[in-house]
């Protein structure tokens, strides 16, 4: 049975809004997953910040400079730039999230 009284414009509108609903729900799920990761990230941030700003980092750097650490030990954390940049990037991300939340209101 053919339905009457519905315009092509209405059908197109419903189709567009259905697509918008699907995209919105997908985006929400993606952002929620990312926020879960972001929240967990701060434990690593605090640990790295404490390590990098404390005595242990200097002791480990000195041991590396003396060749005392195993050659196959990954040691990117002993690069001043790597730790500094990661901590700075985390802070920049925090600021971006604040700005994004404020602009969404």
pLDDT grade, residue 2 (50/70/90)? low
DSSP state, residue 43: H
Nearest 5°: CA angle at 9, between 8 and 14? 100
For the chain, what are the domain ranges? 40-105
How far apart CA 41 and CA 33 sit, in angstroms, is 12
pLDDT of residue 20: 98
pLDDT of residue 1: 55
How far apart CA 33 and CA 59 sit, in angstroms, is 37
Note whether 51 and 57 are within 8 A (CB): yes
pLDDT of residue 98: 93
């Amino acid at each position: 049975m053919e339905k009457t009284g519905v315009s092509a414009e209405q059908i197109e509108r419903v189709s567009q809004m259905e697509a918008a609903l699907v995209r919105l729900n997908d985006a929400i799920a993606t952002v929620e997953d990312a926020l879960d990761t972001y929240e967990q990230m701060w434990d690593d941030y605090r640990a790295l910040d404490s390590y990098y700003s404390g005595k242990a980092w200097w002791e480990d750097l000195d041991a590396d400079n003396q060749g005392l650490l195993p050659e196959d030990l990954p040691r990117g954390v002993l690069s001043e730039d790597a730790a500094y940049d990661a901590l700075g990037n985390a802070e920049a991300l925090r600021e971006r999230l604040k700005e994004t939340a404020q602009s969404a209101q």
